[in-house]
Chain A
Amino acid sequence: MSTVSSETEVESASASEHLKVRVYDPDSPLRNLRTFLADAFSDLGQCMELSWLLTIRDIKGQFRQSILGYVWAFLPPIVSSLTFIVLRSTGSFNTAEIAIPYPAFVIIGTLVWQTFADAVQSPLRAVTAGKNILIKINFPRESLILSGIGMCLFNSLIRLCVLIPVLIYYQIPPSASWLWAGVGYFGLVSMGSCISTLLVPLGMLFQDVTKGLVLIMTFWMMLSAAVIPLPTEGTKAQLMQYNPTVPLIVTTRNALLGLDMPLLPQMIAITFCSLLVLFVGWLLYRLALPHMIARLGM
């Protein structure tokens, strides 16, 4: 069970029973950091089964009322890839020369990007959708975030099924560097989830967050080397230099294609930082939640 405040195991007066005591008061739980962390980890341990069930529930539920079903998991990135392929073939927009065929480049790019975009939205969406139980039932609330991440992982696995025929069609041989692509995927999910988790407390209160996120994501995609190769000079190159998704996307794609991975160290560093921020975001979520619930209605 998760709590607003500190939780301690206390031996109860009657000899045979060990009843857990929960204390709720106005003090910040951070004042007793040890208990706060102990509670957080104990909840995390306890909520794994629940998170799994919630993920399964959402996966089963998401396409039950549709005919195409799981096709919807990969249709949007395919269609946006096609858009870019068509635009490029008609000469509406140009890219620098690429070592591999552009369709392979852009399909892999959008699929990889979609994983990140999903990871940014999925936990936030899961928590917002879970508002009803959040304000009424006391349960380990991290399970909502975890189910959001689980959902995103599942959908990117489906997208991998599209990736495989693309790789076969363009005769890209399997290689050991695919392992780095796995790390890249993990990094993208971590980074997306950490952003999402940080946004959850505000996103629960203000709709501006979800609405704004949609706008930002479109713009962000254009600056992420998902559909165009990394420019080497110009303002765009300078902007992209500071974009943390660039090393993740570029390296993941290059790893899949068996190309050089000049941004590998950055990718590892960013993945590591994302995990750290995800951890902090999780603690902030726990800290803020009782105050958010109080404002969400009865």
Chain B
Amino acid sequence: MSEEVLVRAENVGKKFCRDLKRSLYYGVQDAASDLFLHKGSRSNLRKQEFWANRGINFELRRGECLGLIGRNGAGKTTLLKMLNGLLKPDEGHIEMKGRIGALIALNAGFNPVLTGRENIFVNGAVLGLSRAEIKARFDEIVDFAELEDFIDTPVRAYSSGMQVRLGFAVASTLQPDVLLLDEVLAVGDFAFRQKCMQRVKKFLDNDGTAIFVSHNLHQVQNICSEVMYLKKGCSLYLGPTNEGLQAYHNDIEEVPAGNTSQHSQQSPVSQPVVIQHLEVNGGTSAQTFGEITFSMVANSQVDIDGVAAGFSVWTQDDQVRLFTLRNDFERDHFSIKQGENRFSATINLPLCAGNYCLKAMLFHADTSNPIVRHGFENAPFHFTVKSGSHDPSLTKQSIHGEVVAINASEIRWDRQ
């Protein structure tokens, strides 16, 4: 990692106005003051104004990736726009070195009645690629976007996902020194998102510098070397990713962990076995790198022999399964007795700080046919992993690395 600073922000601030008419008037006022050689900060708040960003300080060197996290309206995009030179700061000073590439608003330059082919050239030119550069990479762009069959179709016939794919394919052919990414990896289908992510990772591996805005904290954890947590325009935290995510989690009042409605969602009448209750470490939270015990309480009206149990952990959005634990049938031969049954599994789990979903199931060990499932058809159980004391060498690992670690760790099953 070189010591060359590519991005430097010193005490940066930007004001916006809540009232439309007044805001327009202020725009004219500010432009006029520039005409009369305005100098220095515009620090006084006029009527109805507020700070969208204030007191932002950071430096980014070659090879570093900064994640901007925070709730909607925290000032992430405003900061990104100032760094991109679209907005003029009202306070402070920004220095950007090298070619800036922005993956923001990927389909902004498209003319809907023109074909994909025509739009590639225009969009590329808007982003600063020369005609020759686009021509040279045309096939690569179409190939990446997977739009060979539709390249001579007007763009307005494209689905929004297809438009974004084309936009990403064009914009990502830029070879910038600093890359600005605003929520762009959140669109498109899953396969394409993975492809985009790989492209961004490749850029970072080649000593690229990036600033990444995302609400997908797993992605942030995956690619960012540090994060800035913005709240109401101010930076509450700047530093290593895991601690930053932790600060974010501790600060926001998320969807309350646990799931209060789970009891009512199971219909106890029709099913002989019902999973009544899930627990993580006897509650709803665990510490990173500590022991974690997943438990389920199942109520049964019958006795069943040859039962297997399983827990699976999913990402917070209930979209991606991270891993599943199931017992070794040979060793742990479980059975269900009439009444209350408790199954738990304990592992040494280096899950990253964050929110997750837990689902559980019981099934026949021989046929693998489910007896009862919880969290698949009904709402899953939410739990939180808070960052605790841990081996710092592990913090650099991505979520993928940690899943591998889970597979290697020993699972102790208990049946009570």
A residues apposed to B, CB below 8 Å: 1-5, 12-14, 19-31, 49-50, 53-54, 57-58, 60-61, 64-65, 132-133, 135-139, 201-202, 205-206, 284, 287-288, 290-295, 298
- CB B10 to nearest CB in A, in angstroms, measures 9
Query: When each residue 378-400 of chain B gets 1 if its CB lies under 8 Å from chain A and 0 otherwise, what string results?
Result: 00000000000000000000000
Q: For A295, give its contact among B27, B34, B104, B125 (CB under 8 Å).
A: B27
**Do B39 and A137 touch across chains, with their CB atoms under 8 A apart?**
no
Known: A27-B40, A31-B37, A298-B81. 11 other contacts (CB 8 A): A22-B85, A22-B95, A22-B97, A23-B94, A24-B94, A26-B90, A132-B108, A137-B108, A137-B127, A138-B85, A205-B27
- CB A165 to nearest CB in B, in angstroms, measures 30
**Do A136 and B104 touch across chains, with their CB atoms under 8 A apart?**
yes
**Do A53 and B122 touch across chains, with their CB atoms under 8 A apart?**
yes
CA distance A44 to B37 in the complex (A): 23
Query: When each residue 86-101 of chain B gets 1 if its CB lies under 8 Å from chain A and 0 otherwise, what string results?
Result: 1111111111111110
CB-CB under 8 A from A13, the residues of chain B are 3-4
CB-CB under 8 A from B77, the residues of chain A are 298
Q: Which 8 pairs across A and B sit closest by C-beta, in order of nearness?
A: A136-B105, A295-B27, A288-B31, A28-B34, A290-B88, A24-B94, A19-B98, A291-B31
CA distance A221 to B34 in the complex (A): 36
Interface residues of B in 7-23 (CB under 8 A from A): 14, 16, 23
Contact A206 B24, CB 8 Å, known A288-B31, A291-B88 = yes
Q: For B105, give its contact among A4, A21, A137, A295 (CB under 8 Å).
A: A137
CA distance A14 to B41 in the complex (A): 32
B residues apposed to A, CB below 8 Å: 2-4, 6, 14, 16, 23-24, 26-28, 30-31, 33-42, 77-78, 81-82, 84-100, 102, 104-105, 108-109, 111, 113-114, 118, 121-122, 125-128, 130-131, 177
Contact A28 B39, CB 8 Å, known A1-B128, A21-B97, A137-B104 = yes
In the complex, what residue of chain B is closest to A132 when comparing beta carbons?
B108
CA distance A224 to B78 in the complex (A): 47
- CB B175 to nearest CB in A, in angstroms, measures 13
- CB B17 to nearest CB in A, in angstroms, measures 8
Q: For A14, give its contact among B4, B31, B34, B104 (CB under 8 Å).
A: B4
- CB B129 to nearest CB in A, in angstroms, measures 10
Q: List 11 A-B contacts (CB under 8 A).
A: A13-B4, A20-B99, A24-B88, A53-B121, A54-B125, A132-B108, A133-B108, A133-B109, A137-B86, A290-B88, A291-B34
- CB A189 to nearest CB in B, in angstroms, measures 23
CA distance A139 to B91 in the complex (A): 23
Contact A290 B122, CB 8 Å, known A20-B98, A57-B114 = no
CB-CB under 8 A from A21, the residues of chain B are 95-97
**Do A294 and B104 touch across chains, with their CB atoms under 8 A apart?**
no
Contact A294 B27, CB 8 Å, known A20-B97, A287-B34, A288-B34 = yes
Contact A25 B38, CB 8 Å, known A137-B102, A137-B126, A206-B24 = no
Q: For B114, give its contact among A26, A60, A132 (CB under 8 Å).
A: A60
CB-CB under 8 A from B113, the residues of chain A are 61, 64-65
**Do B105 and A291 touch across chains, with their CB atoms under 8 A apart?**
no
Contact A138 B84, CB 8 Å, known A25-B89, A205-B28, A287-B31 = yes
CB-CB under 8 A from A28, the residues of chain B are 33-39
CA distance A12 to B23 in the complex (A): 39
**Do A26 and B38 touch across chains, with their CB atoms under 8 A apart?**
yes
CB-CB under 8 A from A65, the residues of chain B are 113
**Do B128 and A49 touch across chains, with their CB atoms under 8 A apart?**
no
Contact A30 B35, CB 8 Å, known A24-B89, A132-B105 = yes
Q: For B40, give its contact among A26, A54, A206, A291 (CB under 8 Å).
A: A26
**Do B105 and A26 touch across chains, with their CB atoms under 8 A apart?**
no
- CB B117 to nearest CB in A, in angstroms, measures 12
CB-CB under 8 A from B35, the residues of chain A are 28, 30, 284, 287
Which among A61, A137, A288 has the greatest number of chain B C-beta atoms within 10 A?
Answer: A137
Q: For A138, give its contact among B27, B38, B86, B94 (CB under 8 Å).
A: B86
CA distance A12 to B5 in the complex (A): 10
CB-CB under 8 A from A64, the residues of chain B are 113-114
CA distance A20 to B177 in the complex (A): 10
**Do A293 and B86 touch across chains, with their CB atoms under 8 A apart?**
yes
CB-CB under 8 A from A132, the residues of chain B are 105, 108-109
CB-CB under 8 A from A295, the residues of chain B are 23-24, 26-27
CA distance A205 to B17 in the complex (A): 14
CB-CB under 8 A from B86, the residues of chain A are 4, 135-138, 290, 293
Contact A53 B105, CB 8 Å, known A24-B85, A295-B26 = no
**Do B42 and A53 touch across chains, with their CB atoms under 8 A apart?**
no
**Do B27 and A30 touch across chains, with their CB atoms under 8 A apart?**
no
CB-CB under 8 A from B6, the residues of chain A are 19
- CB B398 to nearest CB in A, in angstroms, measures 29
Q: For B93, give its contact among A24, A50, A60, A61 (CB under 8 Å).
A: A24
CB-CB under 8 A from A23, the residues of chain B are 93-95
CB-CB under 8 A from A293, the residues of chain B are 86-87
CA distance A280 to B135 in the complex (A): 36
Contact A294 B131, CB 8 Å, known A24-B93, A136-B108, A206-B24 = no
**Do A3 and B24 touch across chains, with their CB atoms under 8 A apart?**
no
CB-CB under 8 A from A54, the residues of chain B are 122, 125-126
- CB A197 to nearest CB in B, in angstroms, measures 14
**Do A5 and B95 touch across chains, with their CB atoms under 8 A apart?**
no
Which among B31, B93, B96 has the greatest number of chain A C-beta atoms within 10 A?
Answer: B31
CA distance A30 to B39 in the complex (A): 10
CB-CB under 8 A from B28, the residues of chain A are 201-202, 205, 291
Contact A1 B85, CB 8 Å, known A137-B102, A294-B16 = yes
- CB B18 to nearest CB in A, in angstroms, measures 12
CB-CB under 8 A from B96, the residues of chain A are 21-22, 24
CA distance A157 to B121 in the complex (A): 25
Contact A61 B39, CB 8 Å, known A24-B82, A291-B88 = no
CA distance A23 to B4 in the complex (A): 16
CB-CB under 8 A from A284, the residues of chain B are 35
- CB A45 to nearest CB in B, in angstroms, measures 13
